[in-house]
Amino acid sequence: MTAFLSENALVVLKRRYLKKDAHGNPVETPGDLFRRVAKSIAAAERVFDPKADAGPVEEEFYGVMADGLFLPNSPTLMNAGRRLGQLSACFVLPVEDSLESIFDSLKFTAMIHKSGGGTGFSFSRLRPENDTVLSTAGVSSGPLSFMKVFDTATETVKQGGTRRGANMGILRVDHPDILRFITAKDDLTTLNNFNISVALTDRFMKAVGQNGDYGLVNPRTGDVVSKLSAAEVFGRIAASAWATGEPGVVFIDRMNEFNPTPLRGAIEATNPCGEQPLLPYESCTLGSIALSRMVKDGAVDWELLGRTVRTAVRFLDNVIEVNRYPLPQIEENTRATRKIGLGVMGFADMLILLGIPYDSDEAEAAAEEVMGVIDRESKAASAALAQVRGNFPAYKGSIHDRPETPFMRNATTTTIAPTGTISIIAGASSGIEPLFAVAYVRRVLNGTSLPELHPLFEKAARDGGFHSKELVDEVLRKGSVKDIPAVPEAVKRLFAASHDIPAARHVGIQAAFQRHTDNAVSKTVNFPACATEEDVRELFLLAFQQGLKGVTIYRDGSRERQVLCAGKSEAGPPREAKAASPRAPRARPAATRGITERIKTGCGNLYVTVNRDDEGMAEVFAQMGKTGGCASSQTEATGRLISLALRSGVSPAEVVKQLIGIRCPSPAWQDSRQVLSCPDAVAQVLKKRLGAADFDASDPSGPAGQCPDCGQMLTHESGCLVCHACGYSKCS
Rg for the chain, CA atoms, rounded: 26
Give the SS3 label for residue 176.
coil
* 255 torsion bin: left (phi>0), alpha (psi -120 to 50), beta (else): alpha
Helix (H) or strand (E) holding 556: none
DSSP-assigned letters across all residues of 136-154: TTEE---HHHHHHHHHHHH
Strand 163-164 relative to strand 158-159: parallel, antiparallel, unpaired? antiparallel
Describe the chain by its helix, strand, coil percentages, rounded to 5.
40, 20, 40
Query: Are 119 and 145 a contacting pair, CB within 8 Å?
Result: no
Task: Please say if 630 is a catalytic residue.
Answer: no
- Say how far apart CA 230 and CA 234 lie, in whole Å: 6
Cα angle 91, 92, 98 (rounded to 5 degrees) comes to 140
- Say how far apart CA 359 and CA 504 lie, in whole Å: 10
Q: According to DSSP H, which parts of 598-662 are helical? A: 629-647, 652-659
Query: Are 428 and 349 a contacting pair, CB within 8 Å?
Result: yes
- Say how far apart CA 261 and CA 412 lie, in whole Å: 10
Helix (H) or strand (E) holding 627: none
C-alpha of 542 from chain center: 23
Catalytic residue, chosen from 90, 193, 273, 707, is 273
Count of CB atoms situated within 10 Å of the CB of 221:
11
Query: Are 397 and 261 a contacting pair, CB within 8 Å?
Result: yes
- Say how far apart CA 543 and CA 552 lie, in whole Å: 10
Helix (H) or strand (E) holding 60: helix 55-66
Helix (H) or strand (E) holding 211: none
Reference 182, options 202, 167, 200, 196; nearest CA is 196
Query: Residue 628: CB partners within 8 Å, gap ≥ 6?
Result: none
Helix (H) or strand (E) holding 127: none
DSSP 263: G
Strand 118-122 relative to strand 167-172: parallel, antiparallel, unpaired? parallel
Catalytic residue, chosen from 45, 58, 268, 275, is 275
Task: Please say if 303 is a catalytic residue.
Answer: no
Query: Residue 203: CB partners within 8 Å, gap ≥ 6?
Result: 174, 214
**How far is it between the farthest Cα atoms of the chain?**
89
Whole-angstrom CA distances from 460 to 128, 179, 295, 359 are: 58, 50, 17, 19
Task: Please say if 130 is a catalytic residue.
Answer: no
C-alpha of 156 from chain center: 20
Whole-angstrom CA distances from 196 to 122, 645, 695 are: 10, 42, 27
Q: According to DSSP H, which parts of 502-628 are helical? A: 503-514, 533-545
Catalytic residue, chosen from 8, 193, 195, 271, is 271
Query: Residue 512: CB partners within 8 Å, gap ≥ 6?
Result: 364, 365, 367, 368, 371
Reference 120, options 250, 28, 213, 236; nearest CA is 250
Residue 84 amino acid letter: L
Whole-angstrom CA distances from 213 to 144, 249, 536 are: 24, 19, 21
CA dihedral defined by 247, 248, 254, 259, rounded to 10 degrees?
A: -100
Q: Which residues are catalytic?
A: 271, 273, 275
